[in-house]
Amino acid sequence: MSSKHQGNHWRKDSPRRITEYTDSKPATLPAIMLEPVGRRASAWLARLICGALMVALFGHGLPGMAAENDVVLIANPQLAIGPLPRDTARAIFAMRQRTSPSGQALHVMVLPDAHPVHARFAKGLLDVYPHQLRLAWDRMVFSGTGQAPERVASQAEMLKQVATTPGGLGYIERGYLDDSVHVLPLAE
Amino acid sequence: MTVSMSCRWQSSFRVRWSLAALAGLVCQPAQAADAMDTLQVHGFISQAWLISDDNDLFGPSSEGGGSYQYTELGANLSFRPHPDVLVAAQVLSRRAGGEGDDLQPKLDHGVIDYEWLSNTERRLGLQLGRFKNPFGFYNQTRDMAFTRPGILLPQSIYFDRTRSLALASDGISIYNEEYLDSGTLRLQAGVGNPQAGSDLDGALGLGESPGSFEGETSYIGQLLYEHEEGHVTAALSAADVEAGYRNGKPGPGDGTFHFQPWILSLQYTEELWSLTAEYALRGIQLEDFDAPGRNTDTTGESWYVQYTRRFQENWQWLLRYDVLVNDRDDPSGTRFEAAGGGPAYTRYAKDLTTGIQWRLHPQVLLAAEYHAIEGTGWLPASDSDTLPEKYWNLFLMQASFRF
């Protein structure tokens, strides 16, 4: 089973599922063959056709594209972790829990605070606000009670770092996935 | 800038060498390379400008151009010589009024942290060295602007006049986190010697006497509960702090200072706003002094309610009302005044604060804030002979940089 398929179950309440959309494409094609009746009518028709095409191509295309945008938790392939409880994931990314449930040392990586994927990861998967994570890290770093996660600049770098760092754990949009990392489903 | 800074930081070399020695004890050669991979260095610089209509805070704030004498510089490093061991230390330079010498770097914290147990149910470990006292929501990082809701923390609880006692303790601290179904329970408890700086001598009216206070074995603990997704956080902090006054003869003689604060902390957080409140009872006893007037037993009371609102991604607005009473039995200070101790309003303070923070870059924070204050209960002891004013206004601006 490829890691991409494994990841489909990660969010049970996700409103955006991959759907089949090929069946709806031909619906508007006959309209293109109609003869124009007059200027106003043809303009009206052109608008209708454009609208219908937009709906056909993009409206139904949205679920598929959204899935590409979905943020997934990724792990170094050497990490033997099953589905991760959300609470555990939250404690790990808050840098409080430093080992996996199986006892392996973790190396947490995050995108910059202002990166939109970071906000979507924090709110969507961990159910915390980015400002709460930032405060938790700062409080640890500046009180001598812990360390900050490693920051990577982009999703491409995230993928590379998680794939090559022992214990590596991070997140990217599904569209960036390849077989170099595991997708970790989240359990409630 | 670089040159002058490196001079000021020279005394931190000793810290660095002690850390290297400590690392040598817990670090095996094969792990040295891995340990270097975990090395992190962070720091911050803050500079503030204060202006007040009356009463000086942190330098001559009530004179012409205000005061720039509020500067905070900190730098820390941490690494893991072993997966279960964290070595962390921070030096802090801070000037809040007073002499320029105050910028002399001091060891803010320096610990070896051993995590004995960490799994999906709990976390258990201990810290050895100079650990930050877990005291209310803000004490452990009180000097780092980015972790504060405003430029000044609520002074009724995080007051400056005896701050040295609250900062850190030299000793041992244990921590335990329990991951429950409903949330996380965190316990931290420590025993150690607090720092007792000259601020304590001054605040207790012994600044002119020959002796000084020294921290003695003290206890501190905090129980903190974070409900599920962190919307609700509640904490109870308690301490029994002791400092001995030595070499006071022939004036006040030797004596003991006891400080027993209790702090109840509550916070509710949403994505765009937080409501925070803390309430403290502070027991203060001076005992065993020869001069009978020196021995006192009072309980102070402090509380504040604070609303913060985040907007436009990088902005935060603060509104806070903060009240300090030095003696619960005499909240308005009238008995104190009647007994000839001084103006009643020096025994309490009511501070209405509003402020704004702008993170114009992840590493840069700009802040401005205004305080309308009645009373001078938390105003640090000054050398001036003139009496402070009862009603005063304070405006502050601060720029902070972090790395």
**Residue A3: per-residue pLDDT:** 40
Query: Edge-to-edge strand order for the sheet containing A150-151?
Result: A150-151, A107-110, A168-173, A71-75, A182-184
**Residue B130: per-residue pLDDT:** 96
Q: Mapping DSSP to helix (H, G, I), strand (E, B) and coil, where does residue A109 land?
A: strand
Token pair for B350: 């009511």
Q: Nearest Cβ partner of B120 from A88, A135, A138?
A: A88
Contact of B345 with chain A, judged by CB distance below 8 Å, is answered with no
Residues of chain B with pLDDT > 90, as a percent, come to 59
B384 or B87, which is more confident? B87
d(CA A123, CA A61): 25
B213 or B322, which is more confident? B322
Contact of B82 with chain A, judged by CB distance below 8 Å, is answered with no
Residues of chain B with pLDDT > 70, as a percent, come to 86
**pLDDT (tens digit per residue) in B217-245:** 899 999 999 997 678 999 999 999 988 88
**Residue B252: per-residue pLDDT:** 67
Backbone conformation region of residue B337, classed left if phi is above 0, alpha if psi is from -120 to 50, else beta: alpha
The reply to whether residue B113 touches residue A144, judged by beta carbons under 8 angstroms, is yes
Among B37, B122, B123, B147, pick the best mutation site for testing chain A contact (most A Cβ within 10 A).
B147
Q: Do the Cβ atoms of A151 and A130 come closer than 8 Å?
A: no
Alpha-carbon distance A99 to nearest alpha carbon in chain B (angstroms): 7
**Residue A61: per-residue pLDDT:** 42
d(CA A53, CA B160): 68
Is domain B2-402 annotated with CATH 2.40.160.10?
A: yes
Q: Which stretch of A60-64, B200-204, B313-317, B396-400 has the lowest confidence by average pLDDT? A: A60-64
Which residues of chain B lie closer than 8 angstroms to A114, CB-CB?
313, 362
Alpha-carbon distance B147 to nearest alpha carbon in chain A (angstroms): 6
Contact of A114 with chain B, judged by CB distance below 8 Å, is answered with yes
Question: Where exactly are the structural domains of chain B?
Answer: 2-402
Q: What are the pLDDT tens digits along chain A (188 aa)?
A: 334 343 333 333 333 333 333 333 333 333 334 444 455 666 666 666 655 555 555 444 444 445 777 999 999 999 878 888 888 898 899 998 888 878 888 999 999 988 999 999 999 999 888 888 999 999 999 999 999 999 999 999 999 999 999 999 999 999 999 999 999 988 86
**Residue B305: per-residue pLDDT:** 98
B residues 288-317 closer than 8 Å to A (CB): 310, 313
**Residue B27: per-residue pLDDT:** 47
**Residue B11: per-residue pLDDT:** 39
Interface A-B, measured as beta-carbon pairs within 8 A, has a size of: 87
User: Is the pLDDT reported for residue B337 higher than 80?
Assistant: yes
B residues 363-392 closer than 8 Å to A (CB): none
Q: Which residue's structure tokens are 């329990």?
A: B178
d(CA B163, CA B161): 6
**What is the four-CA torsion angle of B178, B179, B182, B186, rounded to 10 degrees?**
40
User: Is the pLDDT reported for residue B24 higher than 70?
Assistant: no
Q: Do the Cβ atoms of B331 and B323 come closer than 8 Å?
A: no
**pLDDT (tens digit per residue) in B89-146:** 999 999 988 776 778 899 999 999 999 988 888 999 999 999 999 999 999 999 999 9
Q: Tell me: ipTM over 0.95.
A: no
CATH class of this structure's domain A70-187? alpha beta
Average pLDDT over residues B184-192: 95
**pLDDT (tens digit per residue) in B243-264:** 888 775 666 677 888 889 999 9
**pLDDT (tens digit per residue) in B41-61:** 999 999 999 999 989 999 899
B166 or B6, which is more confident? B166
The reply to whether residue B83 touches residue A87, judged by beta carbons under 8 angstroms, is no
**Residue B334: per-residue pLDDT:** 94
Q: Which residue of A has its CA nearest to B231?
A: A128
**Residue B250: per-residue pLDDT:** 64
Q: Do the Cβ atoms of B13 and B21 come closer than 8 Å?
A: no
Which residues of chain A lie closer than 8 angstroms to B310, CB-CB?
131
**Residue B248: per-residue pLDDT:** 59
Output DSSP code: residue A24. Answer: G
The reply to whether residue B90 touches residue A132, judged by beta carbons under 8 angstroms, is no
Token pair for B191: 């025993």
Q: Do the Cβ atoms of B318 and B307 come closer than 8 Å?
A: yes
**Residue B384: per-residue pLDDT:** 67
Average pLDDT over residues B151-179: 90
**Residue A20: per-residue pLDDT:** 31
Question: Where exactly are the structural domains of chain A?
Answer: 22-60, 70-187
Q: Nearest Cβ partner of A97 from B118, B271, B313?
A: B118
Least Cα distance to B48 among B403, B402, B397 occurs for B397
Position B31 confidence tier, pLDDT thresholds 50, 70, 90? low
Q: Nearest Cβ partner of B146 from A112, A128, A138?
A: A138
Contact of A127 with chain B, judged by CB distance below 8 Å, is answered with yes
B251: CB partners within 8 A, 6+ apart: B209, B210, B211, B291
Q: Nearest Cβ partner of A87 from B123, B179, B269?
A: B179
**Residue A49: per-residue pLDDT:** 63
Least Cα distance to B157 among B166, B147, B149, B148 occurs for B166
Among B76, B119, B120, pick the best mutation site for testing chain A contact (most A Cβ within 10 A).
B120
